[in-house]
Each structure stands twice: as structure tokens, then as C-alpha cells.
């Protein structure tokens, strides 16, 4: 099986952060142990979604104010 290089990138983490990431593999989804890569992916996607939701709320709120 060959990895598609267009779908993956690597990042560097400080040793202390990498150690914390190891702890999170068991805590991000209780009852399931995720790989470090999946933990990073989940945390980034969750944060991205929450930031987009806040941005959309502000945008929708501004739209509603101008609409009235």
C-alpha cells in the first residue's frame, strides 16, 4: 500500500507537547484509544468547527440587524 503524498503532511512538536499528545490518545474519546495523528486531526477539526460557528453567528446576527 502506497501513501498518497497529496493527502498527508507532517508537523514538528516540542517533546513536552508530544508527551501530552500521548496522554490525549486515551482521553479525547473515552473508551477509545486514538493514534496521535487522529487526536491532532480531531482537535483541529473541533476547534475549526467551533470558530466557524462563532463567525457564522456573528455574521448572521449582523445580517439580522441590518435586515430589520
For residues 43 and 34, is the Cβ–Cβ distance under 8 A? Answer: no
Instruction: Tell me the per-residue pLDDT of 20-56, one tens digit each, with 9 for 90 and over.
Output: 999 999 999 999 999 999 999 999 999 999 988 877 7
- Secondary structure class of 56 (helix, strand, coil): helix
For residues 20 and 39, is the Cβ–Cβ distance under 8 A? Answer: no
Quote the pLDDT of residue 12. Answer: 95
Comparing 6-10, 50-54, 63-67, the range with the smallest average pLDDT is: 63-67
Please, which pLDDT band fits residue 4 given cuts at 50, 70 and 90? confident
**Domain boundaries in the chain?**
35-68
Quote the pLDDT of residue 39. Answer: 96
Global pTM value: 0.69
Amino acid at each position: 500500500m502506497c501513501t498518497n503524498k497529496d493527502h498527508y503532511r507532517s508537523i514538528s512538536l516540542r517533546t513536552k507537547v508530544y508527551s501530552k499528545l500521548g496522554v490525549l490518545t486515551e482521553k479525547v474519546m473515552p473508551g477509545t484509544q486514538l493514534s496521535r495523528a487522529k487526536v491532532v486531526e480531531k482537535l483541529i477539526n473541533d476547534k475549526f468547527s467551533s470558530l466557524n460557528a462563532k463567525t457564522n453567528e456573528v455574521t448572521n446576527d449582523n445580517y439580522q440587524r441590518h435586515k430589520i
